[in-house]
A and B are shown apart, each in its own frame.
Chain A
Amino acid sequence: MQALHFLQALARIARAAPKPAHSARTRQIRHAAYASMAHSSRSSRRTWSRALLHRLRQRQQQRPGRLLTVRRRVRIVTPITSRPEEPARAETLRQLVPGGRGMEYCNLLEETADYVQCLRAQVQLMQTLLDAFSS
């Protein structure tokens, strides 16, 4: 499911008309990677996948008007002050995992596990494709 989505997205990018700039293409591919991750059947019910899709959409909307982009509005979420029982690095983890801000530590760990799994699958997929199509 993940692979299918990604391949389709890649094909779309490849077909997209005049070769865009290096950086734009990179961005598009990365976008496609994360989108396919979020759309995979295993993770569509996860918090991080929704947050990731949200983030992707925001970025897409931001892109066109780059000069006058308003910084995306700050969401009023549970205060990011470190909750007492968590270890110190939990805040870093929250920033890494999409949607990690509003979660409790317990759920954060679970989401991280799922996110790591999906990330790994995505990376494997991309590497395999790269190897397969570039030899």
Chain B
Amino acid sequence: MSGSLNGNSASSGGGATGAGGDDFFDQMLSSLPSPWADLANPKSPWDLTTGANAPRSGEDCGGYDESALLASRLRQHQISGSGSPAGAKPMMLHQMLMSAAGRAPGGGAGAGAGGAGDPSGFFPLPLSLGRDDVEGAFKSPNGTGAEGLFNGYGGGLPGAAQANNQPPFHHAQQGAPMPAQNFGGAAPNAGAQAPAPAASGGGAAAPPRQRVRARRGQATDPHSIAERLRRERIAERMKALQELVPNANKTDKASMLDEIIDYVKFLQLQVKVLSMSRLGGAAAVAPLVANMSSEGQGGSNGAGGSDSSLTVTEQQVAKLMEEDMGSAMQYLQGKGLCLMPISLASAISSATCHPRASASHLGGGPAAAAAHHLILPGPQAQPNSNNHVNPDGPSSPNLSGLTAQSAMANGNADSHKDASSA
């Protein structure tokens, strides 16, 4: 937006000396969003003929009535909560300030106008800068005063920035040190104020382009639109992840990320431990399957093992399998059955199946259903002091693995299974 102002001032710089102050006003006001314009028009902030309505009585810029008036008007708008439009103005002023302040050396303590610590404390500064120009170039306070003021923005601020080198104004000699001082005084204020209006502006004014200033919360800048889209997508995916991960407290993003990371680590650890525990199981799978199937079909089929029930079971399993493999397996397991490819079944049934002694139960802790106990396989039931069974080999590493597994699995398996089957 500062660019727009500069452009305006530059374009009307030549013709600003004459009439056409209204044109300039219209240009400016039309470039602003309608609320601002609506605000501006009825209240006619730039109407300098209204009396000195200067809440800022501390102006030491003696004859700077117009600037004081303008400052007061601007501040009124800002305070009246006109939101971003009012914030737009100080934003633009800020940018010019900041760009200029970078080049101007910090002077002494600013005038009372600059250093009052007021939210609009920096207002008088550019106004006073422009004031120089107004005074010098136009010498007409009324209609073209503000216009000249804004003229001074384009030419005044950068000009005043180099005030030390060459004051561009006619009699800016006395004005130059003044702006420099005001710069120094207002720069800290400007620095403090920069974040606040910048935040309200939504960053749309940052790139000095000629575009309409968007209302708060929106942006016409393609970059910020893309940014917003991206943020929305990320939020969407975070929500989806929240549903997957069990402890979805809906707290902030950071803790949610931590939760997700921990969960992934936990699952990977579970895979690792389960693969360890299956060592005996993998060997036992082959013969056991035959046992299970024969037993399951034979008599231990809770409801009575007839053929009809088997087909019913099959249909049930098929239905379950469509949704979730895990629940299908659980269903089968609850019935004492298992699912396997036909080739494997035939291969297994041909093998000799020697019965394995059932291992002792591990940790019958807070298990909801008895079927969810984690049972470790073992070639022989060798009750240790901890009631653990070692598949083979030395005891210590297996013990630690088994303990971890039981502790983890019993504590979490139920919750996970319940959560997943829900």
Contacts and interface: CB of A to CB of B under 8 A. Distances in A.
Nearest to B272: A30
A120 interface: yes
Interface string B286-297: 101100100000
B326 A128 contact: yes
B368 to A, nearest CB: 14
Interface in B255-276: 257-258, 260-261, 263-265, 267-268, 270-272, 274-276
B212 interface: no
Contacts of B260: 93, 112, 116
Interface string A103-135: 001100110110111011111111111111111
B284 interface: yes
Among B277, B283, B329: residue with most chain A CB under 10 A: B329
Mostly, the B contact residues are helix
A4 to B, nearest CB: 7
A57 B238 CA distance: 31
A18 to B, nearest CB: 12
A125 B241 CA distance: 21
A4 B377 CA distance: 22
Contacts of A93: 257, 260-261, 264
B331 to A, nearest CB: 10
Given A90-B257, A105-B234, A120-B420, A130 B240 contact: no
B409 A127 contact: yes
Contacts of B278: 10, 29, 126, 129-130
Contacts of B234: 105-106, 109
Interface residues of A, number: 53
B285 A10 contact: yes
A29 B275 contact: yes
Contacts of B292: 132-133
A56 interface: no
B63 to A, nearest CB: 49
A87 interface: yes
B375 A87 contact: no
B233 interface: yes
Contact of B344 (A7, A13, A87): A7
Contacts of B413: 127
Interface of A: 2-4, 7-8, 10-11, 13-15, 19, 22, 25-27, 29-30, 33-34, 87-90, 92-93, 96-97, 105-106, 109-110, 112-113, 115-117, 119-135
30 contacts: A7-B344, A11-B286, A11-B344, A19-B283, A26-B272, A30-B271, A30-B272, A30-B275, A33-B274, A87-B253, A88-B254, A89-B254, A90-B257, A93-B260, A97-B264, A109-B241, A112-B264, A116-B244, A119-B271, A122-B271, A124-B326, A126-B271, A127-B274, A128-B329, A128-B330, A131-B371, A131-B375, A134-B280, A134-B376, A134-B377
CB-based closest 4 A-B pairs: A124-B326, A29-B275, A109-B237, A128-B329
